[in-house]
Amino acid sequence: MPEYAAPITELRPLAARKAKSKRAATKSAATRRSTKNKRPSVWLRIAKFGALASVLGALGVLGYLVYLDRTITKTFEGRRWSVPAQVYAQPLELHAGASLDRRRLQIELERLGYQQHANLPTPGTFKRRGEDLEIYLRSFQFMERSRSAQRITVAFRNAHIAGISGEAGDVALIRLDPALIGSFFPSHGEDRVVLTPEEVPHLLVAGLKAIEDRNFDQHIGFSLRGIARAFLVNLRSGERRQGGSTLTQQLVKSYFLDNSRTIERKLKEVAMAVILDWRFSKEDLLTAYVNEIFLGQNGARAIHGFGLGAQFYFNKHLSELDPDEIATLIAIIRGPSFYNPFRHPERALERRDRILNTFHNDGLIDTAQLEQGLAQPLGVVASPTSGGAYYPAFMDRVRQELRTLYDPEALESQGLRIFTTIKPTVQEATQQAVSDTLAQIEADRRIEGGALQAAAIVADSQTGEIHALVGGRKGRVDGFNRALNASRPVGSLIKPVVYLSAIESGLHLGSTVHDEPVTIEPEFGEPWTPKNFDDEFHGDMPMVRALAQSLNLATVNVGMQVGLDLIQQRFRTLVGHDPDNPYPSFLLGAESLSPLKTLELYGNFASGGFRTPPKAVIAVLDESGRAISQHPFALEQTIDARHAATINRALEIVMAKGTGRSSPYARQGVAGKTGTSNDNRDSWFAGFDNSAVSVVWIGRDDNQITGLTGASGALRIWNAMTATRGIDPLVHPPSEQLVDIEFTTGLRARASCADIVTVPVPDTERLDIKPGCGIKNRLGNRVRRWFGG
């Protein structure tokens, strides 16, 4: 055996080690292959997860789009076809003999948006021919029947209508179309006049597309081309002249979205625009845009849509607008505040002219129309209150009356037409009187400007129909309505109820009453000792003087003689509810009433003894013109005619001889009463003539002292109101038994030797005669004059 050969026992472990090493190497290789083979499964899982996330995301987006689709479709459908109730004023009636001159009728026509035109080309125009007016009346669906558009001629003589002629001959009576004063639309104080596609002028449709969205008829709700074009135009001009949003996107923003500028909101806007464009026709979308787009603000009232915009800015129907006026409305769309024609006329005029040139370049108007339009001023009404007038205080009363008959949804969506009692000329004059007189009073008394507030109401004295209702010194602004809701102590306005009760109990205006100290001991609490305004005692006097001079002590003595319970029962029948104050202080007006409720109280006197609750609504018509409710005035006799005539005589004497004597109208056949609450916090006046009853209140919203009496405050507003309306003198019944008495003493006397008043006195009463001034000498004096003695 060679000496280098290993023994057998040594060779075996070496072979085993090699085999083990080989197995280990094989296992390691297998492990590496296994690891290598497992790596693709991780990416697979990632891919699967990504796919799942994509599916879920797509489902989420799809679900959100479905949600948007259902939401905006339902909202758009409902709002698109919602037609708000329209509210109309009382129309002006024209007939031979009416007290109306040519100038006043022309003012009324201009208020309704009629334009002066030499050829009367369309309804809504008029022209002057000598002293006559030729008018092309608009068509209108009145309560009783529809009237077609027609031409009439109105002749005048001595500030009256001499006659009216039409195409078929003489016209006995005709009415102007009534002013639209508001509507009930169901969102965020927005107001509008809803138009159908047929009522939208072609120039407005074509002009909107030319200025706001040239690709409107082709795009799917948004337009990349429009965005690019707007970018280039704005880049070249150095200012924002065009927007990239389509009309549909603008509609979405107006209907559904806020004004935030985020990517999320913009994407939502595009998605909603695509859905609307897919769901609805282009005509539907454009009509909705015309009715929806925001065009300005009038206080709390948002002006939406071109129908109302035409009224608000031009006092015209949309169909009557000229091309330059349509261009102005389109100009406002881009920025109702920035291009506000009242505040920034230069900006609005510049943009209007650019739009007119675009109209011409696109062939929408000819050269003559372009030149004529460019030559026109903006032409907006003198103030945004002149046309399409809005009277929020009166509208509050309309809502009150309708609330019991119709639910809000019916008023907001069923196209009702509501005819009301308001007379715009009276309303405007009353509001002007309130605003101007308050400013004068504050200046005269050095009161902080704007500190005083007021309310005023004018109604028909026989029917209670409200002709004017002012809720504050700023009549076009929504807010606290003092005419309806300011319940304040009425002071001496309550005294006619005391004296009426005394007359019904057997006293008369010549009866002697006592203005002397009085203290009333209540069952509980402190004794009450009232005082006169001048802190004096005036002794015995006729009852008519006690009322005329508003003497507190005489009134309390009369009231306690008649009985507080009887007087308060009388109050209940006159106003329809129990007094809040059960104590004797009620006799001096420690009883709070709103101006509207005070009007109802004095309506009993003004009507000759009938309770006629104030009313604002005459009738309601449905969408087809059928009357669905009539609102005749309620009538309930509350005062015997003789007693009503007596208290009205007394209230005339209040004006002529008493607290109303400072009025320039005091002796012209008007009756009235001033009222002042404790510490001169509230100033009141209530007055009436043969045709109208009015109530005025002045005070402060914080109930601080005003320093005003009824005569120095509220009566001054009534004077200003009457200056424009005039007086219709009271007519007295011929059956009254009248007697002349001395105002201070109540003794029978003659005007030649005493300060007399004429009052009704029952035949059974025998009054003492003033020495040396008795009427027994009247016949002798006449005989001596006849025969020269």
Which secondary structure element, helix H or strand E, spans residue 467, and what is its range? strand 466-470
Q: Is-contact 51 382, C-beta < 8 A?
A: no
C-alpha radius of gyration, the chain, whole number = 40
Quick one: how far is CA 240 from the chain centroid? 37
Catalytic residues: 212, 492
**Token code pair at residue 165:** 């002629």
**Cα–Cα distance between 328 and 352 in angstroms, integer?**
5
Work out the angle between the directed axes of helices 305-314 and 323-333 (0-180°, nearest 10). Answer: 110
CA neighbor of 219 nearest in space, from 238, 186, 244 = 244
3-state DSSP call for residue 518? coil
CA neighbor of 697 nearest in space, from 684, 708, 707 = 684
- Please provide residue 126's backbone torsions phi and psi, each rounded to the nearest 5 degrees: -155, 165
Name the β-bridge partners of 493: none
Q: Which residue has the tokens 């472990």?
A: 13
Q: Is-contact 181 420, C-beta < 8 A?
A: yes
Name the β-bridge partners of 301: 298
CA neighbor of 483 nearest in space, from 363, 393, 607, 612 = 393
Name the β-bridge partners of 161: 156
Total residues found in the chain within this entry: 789
CA neighbor of 207 nearest in space, from 346, 402, 373 = 373
Name the β-bridge partners of 203: none
Which stretches does DSSP call E strand in 310-439?
417-420
Classify residue 696 as exposed, middle or buried by CB count within 10 Å of its CB (0-12, 13-18, 19+).
buried
The secondary structure of residue 465, as a DSSP letter, is: B
**Token code pair at residue 339:** 């291009």
Classify residue 399 as exposed, middle or buried by CB count within 10 Å of its CB (0-12, 13-18, 19+).
middle
Name the β-bridge partners of 460: 692
Q: Is-contact 684 697, C-beta < 8 A?
A: yes
Which residue type sits at 541? Answer: M
CA neighbor of 497 nearest in space, from 676, 684, 638 = 638
Which secondary structure element, helix H or strand E, spans residue 684, and what is its range? strand 683-688
- 275: alpha, beta or left? (left if phi > 0; alpha if psi -120 to 50): alpha
Q: Is-contact 413 83, C-beta < 8 A?
A: yes
Beta strand 160-166 with 169-170 is antiparallel
Name the β-bridge partners of 160: 157
117 CB neighbour count, 10 Å cutoff = 13
**Cα–Cα distance between 138 and 136 in angstroms, integer?**
7
Name the β-bridge partners of 414: 83
492: Cβ contacts below 8 Å, ≥ 6 apart: 550, 588, 589, 659, 673, 674, 675, 676, 684, 710
> Count of H helices and E strands in the chain?
23, 31
Q: Is-contact 430 468, C-beta < 8 A?
A: yes
Q: Is-contact 698 453, C-beta < 8 A?
A: yes
**Cα–Cα distance between 707 and 704 in angstroms, integer?**
9
Handedness of CA 298, 303, 309, 315 (dihedral sign): negative
Which residue type sits at 735? Answer: S
